[in-house]
Amino acid sequence: MLLFLAMLMQSSCQSGPSDVVYLAHTLPTSHPVHQGIEVFAEEVFRLSQGKMSVKIFPDAQLGSEREVLELLQIGSISMTKVSAATMANFAPEYKVLGLPYLFRDKEHFFNVLEGPIGNEILAKGEDYLLKGMCFYDAGSRSFYTKDAPIHKPEDLSGLKIRVMNDQMSVNMVNALGGSATPMAYGELYTALQQGVVDGAENNPPSFVTSRHYEVCKFYSLDEHTSVPDVLVMGTRFWNTLSKEQKEWMNGAAKNSVVAQKKFWSDNVEECMNILNEAGVKIIRPDKSFFAEKSKELLIEIEKQPTMKSIIKQIQSQ
């Protein structure tokens, strides 16, 4: 991998633009977000009439989400897909999107992300050499556990729950009574098997494609957060593009969002069927208990004027 990264750095740090866009991410090829990325690649090729193409490296071939973002910052690769929670480690405004029960429903979610508020958040990454291109639907995250179901927040007491390496995620699980355990996604299956953690939290497609349901037989649909994924381009690469090339990229991103929503919706239904057939017990708890328990996160983040402003805009949308 080191040799390959060296080759990438040599090719993509040239003074002129490249006709091949290197895009790395951590998801398997069966995931609906990867399918959306494939549409992005197809659209880049179509809109440019074959003058540009996208080479995709899935399955964390080039590292974790944070590692790949750092590669974008130094110009070694061009693009990635990461969780908005990971982007929050670079551009703080993304933290708002990790607040529990922030969005009223799917319509509210898409109206925010695809409107002025979403565009404002995407632009904030440019100060850190990371240009947000668009948001992808990553559904709602819920808890899954090995040994006992989660019906109410108190059931999380004493459980080690894997979370993303993001302070908001850590604070949320701790506020609900669990013991948040940050860990790389690729390490989680083994950690669950070996009892390093008692459970995790994620959306149905990720729960299924990771095969974590083979170990965890309880899935509690508390749907505490709706953290979107973000298609990101390094500004070092973006700044090498011509006006026409930038239009191709923006157009491809916009078109891929429409396709990815459909992939996601279809895949969630399919995944829930897979979980039922695999004997996973699906719990539908009263979400109001979880929402009430996590209110302290909203109160704390609203102490920051910038964050409070974004939250108020989202709530009034």
Q: Give me the DSSP letters along 274-316.
A: HHHHTTPEEE---HHHHHHHTHHHHHHHTTSHHHHHHHHHHHH
Domain assignment of residue 73, given as a range: 20-138+227-269
The reply to whether 7 falls in a domain is no
Q: Are residues 234 and 221 in the same domain?
A: no
Say how many domains are in the chain.
2
Sheet strands side by side (includes 20-24): 53-57, 20-24, 79-83, 229-234, 130-136
Q: What is the mean pLDDT of residues 157-179?
A: 94
Give the mean pLDDT of 62-70: 94
Q: Determine, yes or no, domain membership for 188.
A: yes
- Asked if 219 contacts 278 with a C-beta cutoff of 8 angstroms, the reply is no
In this structure, the answer to whether residues 187 and 108 fall within a common structural domain is no
Instruction: Say if 12 falls within a structural domain.
Output: no
- Give the per-residue pLDDT at 222: 97
| Residue 232 parent element (H or E) | strand 229-234
73 and 153 belong to one structural domain = no
191/293 same-domain check? yes
Three-class SS string for 124-192?
A: HHHHHCEEEEEEECCCCEEEEECCCCCCCHHHHCCCEEEECCCHHHHHHHHHCCCEEEECCHHHHHHHH
Q: What is the pLDDT of residue 237?
A: 96
Mean pLDDT of all residues belonging to the chain: 93
For 251, the token pair is 């157009």
Residue 272 has a pLDDT of 97
Query: What per-residue confidence (pLDDT) applies to 6?
Result: 42
Residue pLDDT, tens place only, 188-197: 999 999 999 9
**69 and 106 part of one domain:** yes
In a domain, 100, yes or no: yes
Q: Is the pLDDT of residue 125 over 50?
A: yes
Task: Band the pLDDT of 114: cuts 50, 70, 90.
Answer: very high
Amino acid sitting at position 136: Y
CATH of the domain at 220: 3.40.190.170
Up-side HSE of residue 238: CA atoms within 13 Å toward CB?
A: 18
Which pLDDT belongs to residue 186? 85
**What pLDDT was estimated at residue 205?**
92
pLDDT at residue number 18? 65
pLDDT of 16: 42
CA 8 to mean position of chain CA atoms: 24
- Please check whether residues 74 and 127 belong to one and the same domain: yes
Do 84 and 35 lie in one domain? The reply is: yes
195 vs 218: CA distance, rounded Å = 15
- The least confident of 6-10, 72-76, 87-91 is 6-10
Same domain, 70 and 25: yes
**Rounded to an integer, what distance in angstroms lies between the CA atom of residue 168 and that of residue 285?**
22
**CA–CA separation, 8 vs 77, rounded Å?**
6
Is residue 284 pLDDT above 50, yes or no?
Answer: yes
Position of tokens 């402003």? Answer: 309
Q: What is the pLDDT of residue 2?
A: 42
Strand partners, 202: 142
- Residues 155, 108 share a domain: no
Which amino acid type is present at position 105? D
The verdict on 40 and 116 lying in the same domain is yes
Q: Are residues 205 and 306 in the same domain?
A: yes
Please indicate, yes or no, if residue 259 is contained in any of the structural domains: yes
Residues 6+ apart with CB under 8 A from 239: none
Least confident stretch, 9-18, 76-85, 298-307: 9-18
The confidence band for 3, taking pLDDT boundaries of 50, 70 and 90, is very low
Task: Identify whether 14 is part of a domain.
Answer: no
145 in the same domain as 123: no
Q: How many Å apart are CA 44 and CA 256, to the nearest integer?
A: 10
Mean pLDDT value of segment 274-293: 97
Looking at the domain assignment, is residue 79 inside a domain?
yes
The answer, yes or no, to whether residue 7 has pLDDT greater than 70, is: no
CB 255 within 8 A of CB 43: yes
Which has the minimum average pLDDT: 42-51, 100-109, 164-173, 215-224?
Answer: 164-173
**Mean pLDDT calculated for residue range 78-91:** 95
Map tokens 């993509």 to a residue: 12
